[in-house]
């Protein structure tokens, strides 16, 4: 499992044990610094953010796209390229894989179901998925839905399984042979349960993608519909998130979009591979969604300002478990206190060739979402700090 060095989430993982490297500066490769920086809409002074984006490209990321919204309006910019072969620039309208940002959508749906009386976050996993979470010390009768959502369940993270990471995230292990595999959520859970738990339920905190695979399965059991359909009808459609989708097994990215690139190895050097096309079922409800920066800003603003959840459920979502001195995790939501004292709420996410961040202030007045189309370099923390603290 890769833990990224971001202000929003050290837990914004790229679902890979094999790619266990932080975002570090990498030597420039072919096309690493090509392409100019373009501003699509300029409102207010976001020069520090712009510089941080350019620094990510200088560090080796092919390209960056970002959109911010504050009291002065909307600002969007890009840096670098979206295609190393053609040197086509990135677009502010690019759609991209958002990885673990999916978790906030899933938690929102579960909290809506609680508000409707269809389930309780104090229900055990076994109540909804009887007999599924058992073996090697795992016990679904002792794990609550709340513990899934705030990562205090202790359930092992299936992406930390060495065979899984090698097979699906490295060139040598078989990425190109397995990139179109369809993996059922039950298979992902079985991989996790082959390992012992990280800790007893409720006694500690550890980020586990398995938690949100199980959460998606609970949504399906409680509603009788695919979790993605519930996300669409409860969140995507009401907010008119026209660039947001739950792809299921679809391997392509909808247009407009850029190419996604990875080293497919635990290194920031070496060959760069186009990994745009993958079957995202390997992430399921832990990280398969697609969106763009405008939609992500709209989603988090709506969420934090009470448009998606009643007050009681929003308070549950924002009840935090400390992660470290500056970060805490709620229910599918991370709160980070930046160097200037500003607190931002949101989530980060990574999946093959795509690293994304989306954050907003608690009042929803200032938001930022951006994406890097390479997964081996670039300081995402610096971009967030620049936008909210200047520089």
Catalytically annotated residues: 100
Q: How far apart are CA 147 and CA 150, in angstroms?
A: 5
List the end-to-end C-alpha distance of the chain, in Å, as a whole number. Answer: 31
Tokens of 55: 């620094």
∠ CA 29-35-41, rounded to 5°: 140
Q: How far apart are CA 308 and CA 116, in angstroms?
A: 13
Phi/psi at 53 (nearest 5 deg)? Answer: -65, -45
Closest CA to 345 of 297, 287, 379, 307: 297
Tokens of 122: 């104090």
Closest CA to 75 of 339, 386, 348: 386
Residue with tokens 């635990």: 266
Burial of 350 (0-12, 13-18, 19+ CB in 10 A): buried
Q: How far apart are CA 119 and CA 139, in angstroms?
A: 20
């Amino acid at each position: 499992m890769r833990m990224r060095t971001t202000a929003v989430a050290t837990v914004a993982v790229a679902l890979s044990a094999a790619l266990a490297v932080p975002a570090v500066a990498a030597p420039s490769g072919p096309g690493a610094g090509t392409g100019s920086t373009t501003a699509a809409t300029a409102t207010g002074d976001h020069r520090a953010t712009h510089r941080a984006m350019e620094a990510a490209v200088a560090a080796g990321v092919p390209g960056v796209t970002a959109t911010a919204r504050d009291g002065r309006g909307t600002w969007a910019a890009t840096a670098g390229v979206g295609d190393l072969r053609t040197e086509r620039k990135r677009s502010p309208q690019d759609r991209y894989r958002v990885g673990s940002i999916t978790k906030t959508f899933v938690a929102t749906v579960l909290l809506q179901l609680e508000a409707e009386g269809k389930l309780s976050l104090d229900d055990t996993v076994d109540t909804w998925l009887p007999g599924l979470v058992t073996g090697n010390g795992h016990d679904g009768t002792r794990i609550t839905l709340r513990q899934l959502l705030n990562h205090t369940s202790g359930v092992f993270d299936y992406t930390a399984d060495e065979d899984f990471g090698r097979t699906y995230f490295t060139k040598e292990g078989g990425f190109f042979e397995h990139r179109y595999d369809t993996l059922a959520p039950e298979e992902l859970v079985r991989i996790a349960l082959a390992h012992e738990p990280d800790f007893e339920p409720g006694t500690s905190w550890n980020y586990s993608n398995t938690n949100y695979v199980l959460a998606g399965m609970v949504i399906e059991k409680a509603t009788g519909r695919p979790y993605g359909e519930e996300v669409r009808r409860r969140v995507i459609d009401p907010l008119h998130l026209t660039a947001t989708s739950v792809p299921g097994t679809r391997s392509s990215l909808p247009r407009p979009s850029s190419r996604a690139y990875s080293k497919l190895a635990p290194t920031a050097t070496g060959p760069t591979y186009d990994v745009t096309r993958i079957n995202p079922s390997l992430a399921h409800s832990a990280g398969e969604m697609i969106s763009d920066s405008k939609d992500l800003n709209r989603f988090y603003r709506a969420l934090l300002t009470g448009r998606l959840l009643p007050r009681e459920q929003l308070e549950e979502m924002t009840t935090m478990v400390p992660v470290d001195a500056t970060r805490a995790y709620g229910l599918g939501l991370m709160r980070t206190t930046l160097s200037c004292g500003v607190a931002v709420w949101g989530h980060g996410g990574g999946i093959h060739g795509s690293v994304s961040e989306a954050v907003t202030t608690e009042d929803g007045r200032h938001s930022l979402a951006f994406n890097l189309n390479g997964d081996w370099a670039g300081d995402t923390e610096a971009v967030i700090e620049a936008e909210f603290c200047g520089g």
